[in-house]
C-alpha cells in the first residue's frame, strides 16, 4: 500500500471512531502486493485501531506471530481490538472478546465447488448477525452458514444465500446449546 493509501485508511478509521462507528477489519492479505514484514507492521497497526478484526488463520499468524486461534485472538485483543474472530475454513471459526470466547463448528458442505469468496461470505453473515443484535456466537454461526453456501458455486458472490435459506430459527438455537 502506498503511503497516501495508508494515510487514507488511518484517517477513515479516525473519522469513524470520532463518530462512534464500529470499525471492522478483514485483513485479506495479499503478499503479492508487499513484503510480509511491511504488511505485518502496517496491518497490525490498523487492526489495533479497529473494533472487530477477522483474519483467516494464515493472516492471523502473519499479523500476530502466533500459531493458534486462541493466541491470535488474544494478541488482537491485547493490541486494542474488542473482538477477534479467526476464520478456520472447514473447522469453522474461533471468536474472543474480553469476556467470552469459543469455537463454532463450520456448517457441513457435501460438495465444495469453489472456495473463492467464502471468507468474505463469512464476514457478511457474521456482520448480519451483529446488526440483528445477536450474540457473537450466534453471529459466528450465521457467518459459517453463509460461507457454506458460497462454497457450493463458482465465483465469489454468486452463492450468497437469501435470508430464508439461512434464517436460523429453532435449529440454530439447538446448535448453540
Residue 146 φ then ψ, to 5°: -65, -40
**DSSP SS3 for 87:** strand
Contact 94, 101 (CB under 8 A): yes
64/169 Cα distance (integer angstroms): 36
Q: Point out the catalytic residue in the list 20, 74, 120, 171.
A: 120
- Does 20 qualify as catalytic in the annotation? no
What are the cell numbers at 147?
Answer: 460461507
Q: Cα(145)–Cα(126) distance, rounded to whole angstroms?
A: 9
Residue with cell 495508508: 6
Beta-carbon contacts of residue 85 (< 8 Å; ≥ 6 apart): 52, 53, 54, 73, 93, 94, 95, 96, 126, 136, 140, 143
Which positions are catalytic?
120
Amino acid at each position: 500500500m502506498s503511503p497516501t493509501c495508508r494515510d487514507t485508511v488511518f484517517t477513515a478509521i479516525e473519522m469513524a471512531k470520532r463518530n462512534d462507528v464500529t470499525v471492522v477489519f478483514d485483513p485479506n492479505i495479499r503478499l503479492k502486493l508487499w513484503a510480509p514484514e511491511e504488511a505485518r507492521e502496517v496491518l497490525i497497526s490498523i487492526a489495533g485501531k479497529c473494533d472487530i478484526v477477522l483474519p483467516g488463520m494464515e493472516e492471523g499468524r502473519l499479523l500476530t506471530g502466533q500459531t493458534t486461534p486462541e493466541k491470535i485472538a488474544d494478541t488482537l485483543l491485547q493490541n486494542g481490538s474488542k473482538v477477534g474472530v479467526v476464520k478456520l475454513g472447514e473447522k469453522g471459526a474461533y471468536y474472543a472478546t474480553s469476556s467470552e470466547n469459543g469455537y463454532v463448528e463450520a456448517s457441513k458442505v457435501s460438495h465444495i465447488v469453489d472456495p473463492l469468496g467464502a471468507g468474505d461470505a463469512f464476514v457478511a453473515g457474521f456482520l448480519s448477525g451483529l446488526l440483528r443484535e445477536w450474540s457473537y456466537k450466534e453471529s459466528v454461526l450465521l457467518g459459517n452458514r453463509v460461507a457454506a453456501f458460497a462454497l457450493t458455486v463458482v465465483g465469489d458472490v454468486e452463492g450468497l444465500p437469501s435470508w430464508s435459506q439461512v434464517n436460523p430459527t429453532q435449529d440454530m438455537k439447538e446448535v448453540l446449546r
